[in-house]
């Protein structure tokens, strides 16, 4: 029995190690290209760099505009502002809408939830043309405000569904007890419901942030000035028609990934609870 148990544990760990290697191999390739001074694409199967250099990172971070200003810093700031604004708008609207769908009965409630679900069936690129026309009519093209509105509308349906499911798991008895003590609806929502829904709100905020931070197609469509670009759009300049600066592109991809990875590590204690509890009821 001990030998069978040892063999089972050994094979399990071996399978996990193999799965980790297969998963991390492309990541190691990106790190290798970022740390290699040359801009070519190596065909070697070795994912470890033979020469370590940070020239690609310094070249990407030190990118300057035509007028000599720090272009990378401006684009990084654009990504931060747009992502944070999208998160704020998305979480604010999703929490209030999710709570309303969870607690109140009103005409069109079920239809509204179904329409939110249907909106998730279509990718964002399908709406690029009508959104472009709307932003053009509102004079919001090539602006962070227009991009925030577009990103928020794409993230809100999923966030409402998730928060609605989490609010359903919060006992109504707590709110009824607060009403008996004289608390108003706004006080119940802000003092009781929102603190209890913190794990789901964290997941919602992270999803909204990632939606805005990693999106490329809509940003490339609505932004025309390089000073208004976000980081994913800025990476496009390293991919040309005839050649690709693989070293710079890999270094930029790693820099773009760092804030999201930092958020995952910082918020990981809330992620599991928010994801699982939000799926108990729909």
Determine the average pLDDT of the residues in 202-217. 88
What's the pLDDT score for residue 230? 92
- Specify the 3-state DSSP secondary structure of 261: helix
Cβ count within 10 A of residue 54: 12
- Residue 242: is its pLDDT beyond 80? no
Average pLDDT of every residue of the chain: 86
- Specify the 3-state DSSP secondary structure of 227: helix
Assign 237 a pLDDT band (cuts: 50, 70, 90).
Answer: confident
What's the pLDDT score for residue 271? 67
Token pair, residue 125, equals 């690129």
Tens digits of residue pLDDT in 104-123: 888 888 888 888 888 877 77
What's the pLDDT score for residue 278? 45
Instruction: Tell me how many degrees the CA angle 157-152-156 measures, rounded to the nearest 5.
Output: 15
State the Cα torsion 17-275-256-84 to the nearest 10°: -160
What's the pLDDT score for residue 281? 44
Cβ atoms of 219 and 232 closer than 8 Å:
yes
- Specify the 3-state DSSP secondary structure of 38: coil
CATH for 70-243+257-277 is 1.10.3720.10
Token pair, residue 145, equals 């405000």
Cβ atoms of 156 and 97 closer than 8 Å:
yes
H-type alpha helices, the chain: 2-35, 55-61, 71-103, 109-119, 128-137, 144-169, 172-180, 185-188, 194-196, 198-214, 217-222, 231-234, 246-277
């Amino acid at each position: 029995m001990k030998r069978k148990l040892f063999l089972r544990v050994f094979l399990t760990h071996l399978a996990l190690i193999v799965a980790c290697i297969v998963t991390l191999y492309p990541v190691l390739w990106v790190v290798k290209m970022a740390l290699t001074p040359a801009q070519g694409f190596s065909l070697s199967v070795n994912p470890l760099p033979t020469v370590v250099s940070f020239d690609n990172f310094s070249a990407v971070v030190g990118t300057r505009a035509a007028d000599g200003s720090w272009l990378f810093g401006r684009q990084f700031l654009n990504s931060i502002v747009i992502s944070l604004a999208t998160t704020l708008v998305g979480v604010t609207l999703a929490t209030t809408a999710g709570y309303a769908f969870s607690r109140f009965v009103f005409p069109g409630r079920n239809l509204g939830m179904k329409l939110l679900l249907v909106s998730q069936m279509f990718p964002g690129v399908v709406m690029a043309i009508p959104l472009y026309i709307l932003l053009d009519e509102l004079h919001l093209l090539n602006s962070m405000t227009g991009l925030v509105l577009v990103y928020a509308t794409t993230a809100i349906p999923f966030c409402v569904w998730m928060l609605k499911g989490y609010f359903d798991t919060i006992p109504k008895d707590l709110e009824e007890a607060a009403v008996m003590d004289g608390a108003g609806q706004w006080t119940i929502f802000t003092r009781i419901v929102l603190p209890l829904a913190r794990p789901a709100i964290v997941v919602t905020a992270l999803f909204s942030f990632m939606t805005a931070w990693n999106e490329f197609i809509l940003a490339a469509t609505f932004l025309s000035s390089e000073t208004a670009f976000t980081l994913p759009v800025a990476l496009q300049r390293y991919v040309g028609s005839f050649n690709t600066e693989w070293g710079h592109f890999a270094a930029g991809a790693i820099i773009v990934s760092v804030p999201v990875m930092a958020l995952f590590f910082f918020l990981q204690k809330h992620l599991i609870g928010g994801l699982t509890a939000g799926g108990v009821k729909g």
